[in-house]
Amino acid sequence: MSQRAYVVFVSVIAAIGGLLFGFDTAIIAGAVRFLKVRFALSSFGEGLAVSIVLVGCMAGTWIAGTASDRVGRKRFLLISASLFFVSAVGCAIPRHLTEFLVFRFVGGLAIGSASIICPLYISEIAPARIRGALVSINQMTIVTGILLAYFVNWILVGAGPSNWRWMFAAATVPAVIFFGLVLRVPESPRWLMKQGRDEEALEILCRVNAPGPAAAEILSIKETLALEQGKLSELFKPGFRTALLVGVVLAVFQQITGINAVIYYSPRFFETAGLARGAAILQSTIVGLVNVLFTIVAIALVDRVGRKPLLLTACGGMGVSFILLGAAFKFQLFSGGLVLVFTLLYIAFFAMAMGPIVWVVIAEIFPTRIRGQAMAIATVALWFADFVVSLSFPVIADKLHESFAFWLYAGMCVVDFIFMLFFLPETKGKSLEDIERRWLKQ
């Protein structure tokens, strides 16, 4: 197997965690309307059933981020796979709402672990020239998981009163496959270097790059590690403090610009626009397909065009899309499929940059010794923002109208655009050590 084929192979295996991440977060979109009936949920209860997973995500992210700096990235990929399996079984067999919430929380632990460890692992093993594309594979598998969840929802929508149980149970199969395949991948070479296991790290780097560049990379990693203290307090020093600000703000705005209001509640949008439940779930599947197709665009462009231009373009397009979607709901412009068109426009812009490239940047900008902990801070902030959006959307829609929520998200797109324009650095083509030295010079 060639070096390029090997690193792609390893990256794809790690990214299967992203597929489970996407499936587990999106499967609730089709199940929640049936859960609402089964457990007689209020608007708040509906929001809680959807968003409790995100509380688990915050906990899982922090645990994985901090502990993986000590025990390794590969081990947490295995732990994440195990938690996905436990959650899938538990959510399929609850006798009452409390049991369901407990196992959705466990699913959140799995998603949180995968959300940080998968892109982190790929970024630490990938050569700089193709790192953006390889980390974006993780987002590709996330959106593929979302599409798969929508498809499963559509297939099972007419399968009787226990259909929602089978929706959750479907995740057991990829969880078992993920666990088995992760056993075949190596540990992160940068983590091995941090542990003083230089020979093992060099062997892995030679498998993903030519021997000459691999040896030069080993020296660069050594030099950079020597400048680090390995303490979380480093993030609050000049230079890295800016990196932390960029990472956290990007993570939060990825969510408060509205993506998971669309991912979790798109069947509700289409039902409000007059579609039957089955047709609404089918249109949500189209949303998932567009998400996949435009993520391919991101993978093709991220290492050519760069991170910043794509993010700015996407943010502007997302804002315009939400303005149009808000107008459609405000003035009940439900004929001719306008709600679907505006939703797809938003998803296309999100998928071409804001989805994949935010994860790329977060995985690139932090010091090696504390990359896991630093990513954990940014990713916990991301999941908290997701929790707020997911919990609040049904309440805002019921109390203030859907249009208010969409225009609120459009306003967040404007703020995010301004922030990125002035504070986001371009990291295209730079090694992780070059990016780190850039912060140290500030």
pLDDT in the model for residue 327: 93
- Answer whether residue 131 is part of any domain: yes
**What integer is the mean pLDDT of 17-43?**
84
Query: Residues 271-294: what's their mean pLDDT?
Result: 78
Residue pointed to by tokens 């208010």: 404
Q: Which residues does 309 contact at the CB level (< 8 Å), separation at least 6?
A: none
We report the CATH number of the domain holding residue 426 as 1.20.1250.20
Q: Hey, what are 357's tokens?
A: 């490239």
Residue 196, domain member (yes or no): no
217 occurs within a structural domain:
no
Q: Which of the four pLDDT bands, split at 50, 70 and 90, describes residue 228?
A: low
Q: CB under 8 Å to 183, separation ≥6 — which residues? A: 78
Number of domains in the chain: 1
Q: Is residue 219 part of a domain?
A: no
Would you say residue 237 lies in a domain?
Answer: yes
Q: What is the mean pLDDT of residues 312-332?
A: 93
**Per-residue pLDDT band at 355 (split at 50, 70, 90):** confident
Q: Which residue from 86, 56, 27, 10 is spatially nearest to 379, judged by alpha carbons?
A: 56
Other CB atoms within a 10 A radius of the CB of residue 173 amount to: 11
Q: What's the average model confidence in pLDDT over 152-161?
A: 82
Output the pTM of the full model: 0.77
* Residue 431 falls in which region: left (phi positive, over 0), alpha (psi -120 to 50) or beta: beta
Domain that holds residue 328: 3-185+228-440
pLDDT of residue 336: 63
Cα angle for residues 113, 97, 395 (degrees, 5° grid): 80
Question: Is residue 292 domain-resident?
Answer: yes
237-253 per-position pLDDT tens digit: 777 888 899 999 999 99
- Please state, in angstroms and rounded to a whole number, the distance separating the CA atoms of residues 429 and 435: 10
Residue with tokens 């193709």: 130
* 34-60 pLDDT per residue, tens: 888 788 778 788 778 878 888 898 899
What is the 3 state secondary structure string of 363-385? HHCCCCCCHHHHHHHHHHHHHHH
Q: Is residue 193 part of a domain?
A: no
Residues whose CB is less than 8 angstroms from the CB of residue 84 and which lie 6 or more positions away in sequence, other chains included = 20, 24, 107, 110, 114, 171, 174, 175, 178
Angle at 114 between CA 136 and CA 367, to 5 degrees: 70
pLDDT band with cut points at 50, 70 and 90 for residue 442: low
Residue 348 pLDDT exceeds 90: yes
Examine residue 208 and state whether it is found in any structural domain, yes or no: no
Asked if 418 contacts 315 with a C-beta cutoff of 8 angstroms, the reply is: no
Asked whether the predicted pLDDT for residue 325 surpasses 80, the reply is yes
Query: Are the C-beta atoms of residues 392 and 47 closer than 8 Å to each other?
Result: yes
CB atoms within 10 A of CB 206: 18
Q: What is the mean pLDDT of residues 310-337?
A: 90
| Mean of pLDDT over the chain | 86
